[in-house]
Amino acid sequence: MAVEMKIPPVGESITEVTVGTWYKKEGDTVKMDEVICGLESDKATFELNAEADGVLHILAQEGDVLPIGASICSIDGNGSAPAAAPAAPAAQKEEPAPAPKAEAAPAPAAEAAPAASSAGQVIEMKVPAVGESVTEVTIASWSKKDGDQVALDEVLCELESDKATFELPAEAAGTLRIVAEAGATLPIGALIAKIETSAGAAKPAAAPSPEPGRPAAEPAQQAASNGQNGYAANHPSPAAAKILDEKGVTAQAVQGSGVGGRITKEDAMKASPAPAEAPAAKPAAPAKPAAPAPQAAPAPAGSRNQRTERMTSLRRTIARRLVSVKNETAMLTTFNEVDMKPVMDLRNKYKDKFKEKHGVGLGFMSFFAKAVCAALKDFPAVNAQIDGDNIVFNDFCDISIAVSTERGLVVPVIRNAEQMSFAGIEKEIVRLAGLARDNKLTIDQMTGGTFTITNGGTFGSMLSTPIINAPQSAILGMHNIVERPVVVNGEIVVRPIMYLALSYDHRIIDGKESVSFLVRVKQILEDPARLLLEM
The confidence score (pLDDT) of residue 158 equals: 84
Contacts of 502 (CB under 8 A, 6+ apart): 333, 334, 335, 336, 474, 475, 476, 477, 514, 517, 518
pLDDT at 84 over 50: no
89-98, 203-212, 273-282, 344-353: range with highest mean pLDDT: 344-353
Cite the beta strand spans of 370-450 per DSSP E: 385-387, 390-392, 399-401, 403-405, 408-410, 413-414
Domain match, 274 and 338 both: no
pLDDT, tens only, 429-467: 999 988 988 888 888 888 889 999 999 998 999 999 999
Q: Which of 389, 438, 510, 527 is catalytic?
A: 510
**Number of structural domains, the chain?**
3
Q: For residue 258, tell me if it sits in a domain.
A: yes
Domain boundary among 47, 65, 96: 96
What confidence tier does 277 reach under pLDDT thresholds 50, 70, 90?
Answer: very low
Q: Is it the case that residue 134 has pLDDT exceeding 50?
A: yes
Pairing mode, strands 413-414 and 149-150: unpaired
What global pTM score does this model have? 0.51
Q: What is the mean pLDDT of residues 280-297?
A: 52
Question: Who's near 364: CB < 8 A, 6+ residues apart?
Answer: 340, 343, 347, 478
CATH of the domain at 227: 4.10.320
Give a yes or no: residue 132 inside a domain. no
Q: Assess whether 271 and 345 both reside in one domain.
A: no
Are 259 and 407 in the same domain?
A: no
Specify which residues 385 forms β-bridges with. 392
Q: Is 341 in contact with 495 (CB distance < 8 Å)? A: yes
Q: Is residue 5 part of a domain?
A: yes
pLDDT attached to residue 247: 74
Note the pLDDT of residue 72: 92
- What CATH number is attached to the domain comprising 4? 2.40.50.100
151: left (phi over 0), alpha (psi -120 to 50) or beta: beta
Which residues constitute the domain of residue 318? 313-533
Alpha carbon distance 428, 399 (integer Å): 11
Residue 334 in domain: yes
What letter represents residue 338's amino acid? V
Q: Is position 506 annotated as part of the catalytic site?
A: yes
With CA atoms as reference, report the closest residue to 417 among 456, 375, 379: 375
- Averaged over 370-396, what is the pLDDT? 95
Tell me: do 449 and 517 sit in the same domain: yes
The reply to whether 241 and 343 lie within a common domain is: no
Residue 270 lies in a domain: yes
Q: Are residues 318 and 273 in the same domain?
A: no
Contact between 72 and 59 under an 8 Å Cβ cutoff? The reply is yes
Q: Which long-range contacts (CB under 8 A, 24 or more apart) does 66-71 make?
A: 66/7, 66/16, 66/17, 66/18, 66/19, 67/7, 67/15, 67/16, 68/7, 68/8, 68/9, 68/10, 68/14, 68/15, 68/16, 68/17, 69/6, 69/7, 70/6, 70/7, 71/4, 71/5, 71/6
Q: What is the pLDDT of residues 85-122, one digit of tens each?
A: 344 443 344 444 444 444 444 444 434 444 434 456 88
To which H or E segment does residue 221 belong? Answer: helix 217-229
Which of 96, 126, 149 is the endpoint of a domain?
Answer: 96
Active-site residue, selected from the candidate residues 42, 245, 345, 506? 506
- Collapsing DSSP to helix, strand or coil, 391 comes out as strand
Question: Does 494 or 320 have the greater pLDDT score?
Answer: 494
In a domain, 135, yes or no: no
- Has residue 194 been placed in a domain? no
Banded model confidence at residue 239, pLDDT cuts 50, 70, 90: low
* 3-state DSSP of 137-161: EEEEEECCCCCCEECCCCEEEEEEC
| Helix, strand, or coil (residue 17) | strand
Measure the CA–CA gap between 268 and 145, rounded to whole angstroms: 14
Residue 297 lies in a domain: no
| Separation between Cα atoms, residue 486 and residue 472, nearest integer Å | 34
HSE value, Cβ hemisphere, 13 Å, CA-based, for 84: 9
Of the CA atoms within 13 Å of residue 253, those in its CB half-sphere come to 15
Nearest CA among 414, 343, 455 for reference residue 351: 343
484 three-state secondary structure: strand
- Which residue, of 53, 75, 96, is where some domain finishes? 96
Q: Are strands 136-142 and 165-169 parallel, antiparallel or unpaired?
A: unpaired
* Rounded-to-integer distance, Cα 375 and Cα 382, Å: 9
Q: How far is CA 77 from CA 47, 82, 496, in A?
A: 21, 10, 79
What percentage of the chain reaches a pLDDT higher than 90?
36
254 and 387 share a domain?
A: no
pLDDT of residue 8: 87
Taking residues 69-95, report their average pLDDT.
Answer: 58
User: Are 250 and 381 within one domain?
Assistant: no
Q: Which of 30-34, 182-186, 352-356, 499-503 has the lowest mean pLDDT?
A: 182-186
> Cα–Cα distance between 251 and 515 in angstroms, integer?
68
What is the rounded distance in angstroms from the CA atom of residue 340 to the CA atom of residue 345? 9
Identify which has the larger pLDDT, 508 or 245. 508
- Secondary structure of residue 27 in the 3-state scheme: coil
Residues 337 and 468 in one domain: yes
* In a shared domain, residues 318 and 389: yes
Q: Cα separation of 411 and 454, whole Å? A: 9
Q: Tell me the torsion sign for CA atoms 524, 521, 345, 396.
A: positive
Same domain (yes/no): 274, 395 = no
Same domain, 331 and 470: yes
